[in-house]
Amino acid sequence: PKPDWVALEVADNGHGLPDGFSLDRSNSLGLQIAATLARQLGGTYELANDPAGRGAVARLSFPLAA
């Protein structure tokens, strides 16, 4: 993470996200809430497949102080 930022990362070891998945087009209320929280905190929310192919990884990053 960037200096003076907090990064919260959650990963699983499932099948990962489907091909063509887009966070912007997701109808999931939970994912929409996470993205909105990130914006309100001045941070970012990322959701992607694990680069090693072992599931999905979600990361919420935000500055310690606004």
| pLDDT tens string 39-59 | 999 999 999 999 888 899 999
CB-CB neighbours of 61 under 10 Å: 18
With 90 as the cut, is the pLDDT of residue 61 above it?
Answer: yes
The span from the CA of 13 to the CA of 57, in Å, is: 9
Written as one string, the DSSP assignment of 29-51 is HHHHHHHHHHHHTT-EEEEEE-T
- The overall pTM is greater than 0.85: no
